[in-house]
Structure 1
Amino acid sequence: MTNWKKLTALTAASLLAVSAMGCQSKKDTGSEDIDIADVVEDTADTAEAETQAEVVSDLEASITWWTYPVFVQDEDQADGTYEQTLIRKFNEKYPNIKVELKLLDYTDGPGMIDEQIKAEGGELPNVLLDEPGRISTYAKADMLSDISDLFTDEVKNDMISENLLSACKNGDAYVMYPLSGSNYVMAFNREMLEGSGAIDLMNREGACTWTTDAFEQVLEKLNASGFGSGMLYCSGIAGDYATRSFITNLYDGSLMNDEKTAYTMNSDANQKAFTKIKEWVDKGWMLNGADSTGADAVEEFVAGNQSYCLLWSLPQAINNAAALQENGVDVVVMPYPSEDGSPSLEYMLNGFCVFKTEDEAKEQASRYLIDFLCNDEAVAKENVVRSGAFPVRASMGDVYDGNEEAQLFEALMPYSGTYYQSVNGFEKMRVYWYQMESEILDGQYSVKEAANSFNEYATKTLTEKEED
């Protein structure tokens, strides 16, 4: 998750043109290159023309806003330049609220906040822009304010997926206000799809959702044409979200029960998925990646050695754009297949939280800032674009001005599934996850034995005391 945000801050809309991510049926995508500066300028000009600044509140307060490098800066601008522009625009409507900005990096930022939490009288931000996993940790430590008052019926009804709301909660209280998000997906080699005729079996419209049966037929065609298979990697925990999303979607299973009180990988649906995967591996339609990492899978795909990759996202496209071009790999992005053709996808999310303070003016000022950054017509759309992600609010519409590649990711946002990363013991569970996969792929245990063992140990992590 950390690298995800760091990478998306490097570039946003520009990657959509170079990575050929769209699901359109044309062999030549035909979409024009789109530059983030143009998108941002158009968005800002439109908003400025429509919105005249006027004072909303004369509340007096001084607050601090800490942020990771989520927003992309204009060319040659120093980090934080855009955020300072936002503060100036905020002050046009809230002239008596002083906002002090502090920039964090993904390497030292989390540790810096943890140190302040543990230190007596430590200095914490009033407002933090981060992701749900870390924000949930602060909420569990009773460090965050309940900001449920920001979630009006209008806001909740406008959310593009109800599951996004659950990612913002700690218990019954909302502790994070979402700005933007993006789903994790899989990738195929276009030349191999077209060379095998497999592309004709794939849905090329809208969100490009498809069924497990169609996916299996694609694997068969790719294999029959001699193209290298992709792998189910399970060495090391990096990229595990992709394999969870892939496996649980195959027959409409789920990682946990609805109450998040137990893992459910031994359900009939999930056992059916593992059995089918083992069948594909035995046929050579999928490679046994028990000794391979997610990075290995991406490297093999980018090199043009494998026809598909289970681990893909916007950052993968950014990080590998030059290598993809050099190797002549044109990427076709697809959501994970599901039995009913309606997947439940894992995702990243950007959002704001408020650290508790006894100063009511600071609490209110913090809410004003969050509401402005996420909802004000003058800045909200531009903030989504600069985050390199996509709107979580249906009313925001198409912020990338009709770019076909972007429209796939926008169309997928309603398929955002349950957010599990905030449950107790999640990090420990990830180790058990890969052990289960390896045991099944290597034939050490039957699907039922491995899934039962995972459920037993993973469910225990939900009630075990978390280590400091």
Structure 2
Amino acid sequence: MRGSKKGSVLLVIMALVLSLFLAACSQDTAKESEGGKDTDKNPSNEKQVEITWWNFPNFQALDGEVGKYEKEIIAAFNEKNPDIKVKLEMLTFEGGPEKLNVAIATNTAPDMIYDAPGRIIDWGKKGLLAPLNDMMPDDVKNDISPALMKQSMVGDQVYMYPFNTGPFMMAVNKTLFEDIGELDLLPLDRPDRTWTVAEYEKALHAVKEKAPGIIPSGFYAKSVAGDQGTRGYITNLGTSRFLNEDYSAVAINSESGIKGLEWVVQASRDGLVAPGAASLDAGDHNDLFLQGKMAFAINYSAVLKSLFAPNKTEDFEDVLLPYPTPDGSDPKLEPFLGGLAVFNNDDDKKAEAAKKLVDFIVNDPEWGEKNLIQTGGLSARNSVTGLYEGSEYEYSELARKFITDPPTIADGYAEVRTFWFPELQEAILETKSAKEALDEFAEKSNAAIEKAKAANK
């Protein structure tokens, strides 16, 4: 009887195990038939690599919604890379830099960012980024101008994948000059549009006299945003460099640099510059121009022209002009450069996934060119031209020949730029002479450069 009972229990257990096994098999079969286990395009969280992409509004907003275009990029990327989940976070130009500083300080940096060399190269020097050399073979690097590659590297390490570019310069309200009958004062009939400071002054006085309700030109000295505009303006007005050729010291406190800033101070006295420039930031300056209240803007490019277009509240034609120089010689224009970088967060899988997203954004056969056009910029690649129609893009392509090496790759530049605007304010308010302001800027900046060079060794 005992043997019979044991046999019965054993049979029951075997039947239960068999039924559980068959149920599991039927569930697996159902999943596979629905595109699950082996063919599921949405892998389980265990299989997915999740990365974060922080982005400033580098792409034109789609349907007026910031971040909507980026979401379309991610959706298209996931069609080809279903095993990578991308979490997007949009930054503002006002609060984004500080948010990045906090994230880096607390070890919560994103995996990928689309930004500019000023911050990216500083992070590269501090060892915060993953090198991108494996993504940039010689044929790619050789298709990018040395000035742009120089901004993308620290030593022989590539830390930023260059994407969109365009020289920074000025813009003018062409419609205004047509209305006051002074269009011939602008150098638009010259192929390279170069002009002298004296010619520029004549155009400013024409606005003051014939359109008294319009501010002739702009300037700003409230915060670090848009510092390239004030740098380019002053260095060309005086034919000076901002830093010396090896980036080891400030050069703008030279006699020619001082003359450039003195011109701005005098123009402010003469009512040729927006009043209260010491308390205006780059955004305030842009708004005055886009509202048709100011004739010249000092911080423009083909990229910004495109990005600013939705913000224009007056219907006028804005055209690009190089900064004037004392003798009308070729200007030195800093290049706008946007590019993508990958943070080194001690996770190889995330770094490789982020590199795939970088490659998709820049090089995908369908989306690469589409993404570039959405920035409104020229390609960083010399071989990619003719993406747009219109004289202003043609001129921007031509003005590439004026591109010079920017100071943004100097050791300690992130700190150097913080000293610039306070000294500009002092000069504009005339609490210091132009020489005193630039000498103090040089003293503080040279110390910061030396300190950073020592720390980066």
TM normalised by structure 1 equals 0.70
Residue deviations 1:349-384, cap 9 Å, x none? 322223337777776665555444323433321120
Q: Which residue does 1:258 correspond to in 2? A: 245
Following the alignment from structure 1 to structure 2, what is the Cα–Cα distance between the partners of residues 112 and 431?
17
Which letter maps to 1:271? I
Shift of 1:240: 3.1
Q: Which residue does 1:47 correspond to in 2? A: none
Following the alignment from structure 2 to structure 1, what is the Cα–Cα distance between the partners of residues 225 and 175?
28
- Partner SS state of residue 264, structure 2: helix
Residue deviations 1:410-442, cap 9 Å, x none? 444454433334545545544532333344344
Flag the structure with more relative contact order, 1 or 2, with Cα contacts below 8 A and sequence separation at least 6.
1
Contact 2:59–2:374, Cα closer than 8 Å, also in 1: yes
Does residue 317 of the first structure (1) align with residue 305 of the second (2)?
Answer: no
Contact 1:440–1:450, Cα closer than 8 Å, also in 2: yes
Q: Which residue does 2:234 correspond to in 1? A: 247
- Partner SS state of residue 229, structure 1: strand
Shift of 1:168: 0.8
User: Aligned to 1:355, which of 333, 340, 343?
Assistant: 343
Q: Which residue does 1:10 correspond to in 2? A: none
Q: Which residue does 1:446 correspond to in 2? A: 433
User: Aligned to 1:272, which of 254, 259, 265?
Assistant: 259
Does residue 390 of the first structure (1) align with residue 378 of the second (2)?
Answer: yes
Contiguous gaps of at least 5 residues in structure 2: 1-46
Select between 423-432 and 382-391 the one with higher mean Cα deviation. Answer: 423-432
Q: CA RMSD in A?
A: 3.7
Does residue 456 of the first structure (1) align with residue 412 of the second (2)?
Answer: no
**Structure 1 residues 279-298: aligned runs within 5 Å:** 279-286=266-273, 289-294=276-281, 295-298=283-286
Which letter maps to 2:390? N
Q: Who wins on radius of gyration, i.e. which is larger?
A: 2
Which letter maps to 1:378? E
Shift of 1:105: 1.5
Does residue 399 of the first structure (1) align with residue 387 of the second (2)?
Answer: yes
Following the alignment from structure 2 to structure 1, what is the Cα–Cα distance between the partners of residues 59 and 89?
12
Provide closer, same or farther for how the CA distance between residues 238 and 360 of structure 1 changes in structure 2, counting only shifts above 3 A. closer
Does residue 83 of the first structure (1) align with residue 70 of the second (2)?
Answer: no
User: Aligned to 2:197, which of 203, 212, 215?
Assistant: 212
Residue identity (%): 25
Contact 1:64–1:99, Cα closer than 8 Å, also in 2: yes
Following the alignment from structure 1 to structure 2, what is the Cα–Cα distance between the partners of residues 453 and 112?
29
TM normalised by structure 2 equals 0.72
Residue deviations 1:1-49, cap 9 Å, x none? xxxxxxxxxxxxxxxxxxxxxxxxxxxxxxxxxxxxxxxxxxxxxxxxx
Which letter maps to 1:332? V
Following the alignment from structure 1 to structure 2, what is the Cα–Cα distance between the partners of residues 206 and 422?
31
Following the alignment from structure 1 to structure 2, what is the Cα–Cα distance between the partners of residues 247 and 113?
30
- Partner SS state of residue 351, structure 1: strand
Q: Which residue does 1:193 correspond to in 2? A: 177
Provide closer, same or farther for how the CA distance between residues 281 and 150 of structure 1 changes in structure 2, counting only shifts above 3 A. same
Following the alignment from structure 1 to structure 2, what is the Cα–Cα distance between the partners of residues 316 and 129?
16
- Partner SS state of residue 244, structure 2: coil
Q: Which residue does 1:43 correspond to in 2? A: none
Q: Which residue does 1:179 correspond to in 2? A: 163
Following the alignment from structure 2 to structure 1, what is the Cα–Cα distance between the partners of residues 404 and 184?
26
Shift of 1:248: 0.8
Following the alignment from structure 1 to structure 2, what is the Cα–Cα distance between the partners of residues 418 and 266?
18
Shift of 1:459: 1.9
Provide closer, same or farther for how the CA distance between residues 104 and 280 of structure 1 changes in structure 2, counting only shifts above 3 A. same
Provide closer, same or farther for how the CA distance between residues 384 and 290 of structure 1 changes in structure 2, counting only shifts above 3 A. closer
